[in-house]
Amino acid sequence: MDVPRLRELITGKVFDSYGRRAGVGLHLVSLPGPYGIGDIGDSALSFIEALSDMHIGVWQFLPTGPTAYGDSPYQPLSAFAGNENLIGVEPLVRAGLISEIETETLKGLPVDFVDYPKLIPAKSALLARAVDRFSNKVNDKLKSSYEEFLHLHDEHWLDDYALYRILKTRHGERPWPEWDQPYIHRDPDAISRIRGSSADAIERIKFIQFLFDRQWRKLRKRARENNVCLFADMPIYIALDSADAWAHPEILRIDHDGRLAHVSGVPPDYFSEDGQLWGNPLYDWDYHAANGYQWWIDRLRHAATMADLVRIDHFRGFEAYWSIPVESTSARNGAWEHGPGDALFDAMRDALGHLPIVAEDLGAITPEVDALRHRHEIPGMKVLQFDLCEEDFQPIDIEENCVCYTGTHDNDTTVGWFRGGDTDKRTMEAVEATQANALHWTGGTANTIHTDMIRFAFASKAKFAIAPLQDYLGLGTEARLNIPGTTQGNWRWRLQSNQLTPGLCQSVRAMVHASSRG
């Protein structure tokens, strides 16, 4: 896989090189398939070809890191590792690492939603068999590829991640600040003993990451062959209970034992009248500045090996971030603190050549945040579910150097939004005002609002126009992927193979062509 001196930059110039493109947003877990969860194997490869058939040129997906409680991709156990549950099954069968009959447990899982409590142990057992077969099988080519993978990643992040997962298991999956003291503080003797007693288990974790990397390389190759731009998503914050925080506590505002004084979140906004109390540790920006922002440079460089473009979640946190006392039960009690600003982006550009990023600039955006983004020529976002409801909205407000969305993974589907699926947050009067605005600006009807909104986004000046797949399908609130501020029932919706019909593909192609996108 390319480890670029970021050959493709995300500025107006790079958007020009891509041209006007239409895109789809779909979480990888939502891909169709018979194995309980979408994956990066055959399921993803087929989806890329379907996008190409529809003349869709951008696939935006959510973070791909390993998840824990709540299954949120925005609270990964590592900023660098891949989610083992996304590893494709069919490639393992073809490689002789598992047998077809061993996949039956996964085939017994639901296909219309992800049943995480049943999926995770079943997938883990299957991957363990694959590792055991690799260890007992002579395959010089595969072993050579694995050794190359170790050479590239072991010292950087892989070894720390494997140790962290072993120790987390040994401590009953508790967060690392609750481990035995020698392991909290990475005592060399204690770590050495773990390496000796758990050598096989450590190797198993590393090999599973190799399988993820190997399949992702093929996915990237297929995307390039089909002229589909891969558009990744990066959470600004990392979880306290993560390999990164355990191995490098100095990058965060935590004490020697992993205790926090303040945590992350956002003040009240559209998504939550009380704000959102995320609970992630805050960065020690003084440390990062003194270290030349090397951790962030490494993180962005790694992301550029995974995708062509990267949306950074909560961009406004780089200008100023919401700091909430750890003992607070409400995000209302926070305060703004200064972020790194220009210095971070200057350092990343100097090291990497260019900035392959798009800013998630939603929420409490100030002139200072806009100025930071514009100084570094970083595209922002326009979300029609928000913008069409603004009293002073005009289509000209959607600038060329941005990504225009009908909605995002945090929104209801367009149909659900139009029908008032979130009436617990909006009065019926507000819903009716939304309906009137949407119909006025799109010139559409209540029955076709999903395609009307997509056409409106496609017709905008924005270089990229993206809609969640649920909007292309015209699905309602039942297909919503996430409700911000909640921890249960999210990240479960899945596409069914028969939903991508020839008629849908033809309809999407027509919309793409009519808007001079491709």
> Which token pair is 446?
């209540």
Dump the DSSP string for 353-365.
SS--EEE---SS-
Catalytic residues: 313, 360, 410
Convert the pLDDT of each residue in 389-407 to its tens digit. 888 899 988 999 999 999 9
> Which token pair is 366?
């100030």
What is the distance between the alpha carbons of residues 367 and 373, in angstroms, rounded to a whole number?
A: 10
pLDDT at 272: 76
Q: Which residues, including other chains, have CB under 8 Å from residue 290's CB and lie 6 or more apart?
A: none
Closest to 66 measured CA to CA, from 125, 6, 120:
120
Residue 465 sits at φ, ψ, to 5 deg, of -125, 120
Which domains does the chain show, CATH number per domain? 12-378+485-514 (3.20.20.80)
On the 0-12 / 13-18 / 19+ scale of CB atoms within 10 A, 338 is exposed
> Which token pair is 73?
């991709």
What is the distance between the alpha carbons of residues 36 and 85, in angstroms, rounded to a whole number?
A: 10
Q: Which residues of the chain have pLDDT under 50?
A: 1-12
What is the distance between the alpha carbons of residues 147 and 160, in angstroms, rounded to a whole number?
A: 17
Helix (H, G, I), strand (E, B) or coil at 512: helix
Helix (H, G, I), strand (E, B) or coil at 441: helix
- The answer to whether 83 and 67 are in contact (CB under 8 A) is yes
Closest to 416 measured CA to CA, from 446, 443, 458:
446
On the 0-12 / 13-18 / 19+ scale of CB atoms within 10 A, 429 is exposed
191 vs 166, 167, 198, 387, CA distance in Å?
Answer: 11, 10, 10, 53
What is the distance between the alpha carbons of residues 385 and 372, in angstroms, rounded to a whole number?
A: 25
Residue 383 sits at φ, ψ, to 5 deg, of -115, 115
Dump the DSSP string for 277-316.
EEEEEPB-HHHHHHTTTHHHHHHHHHHHHH-SEEEETTGG
pLDDT at 14: 55
Say whether pTM exceeds 0.75. Answer: yes
pLDDT at 17: 72
pLDDT at 1: 36
What is the distance between the alpha carbons of residues 225 and 228, in angstroms, rounded to a whole number?
A: 8
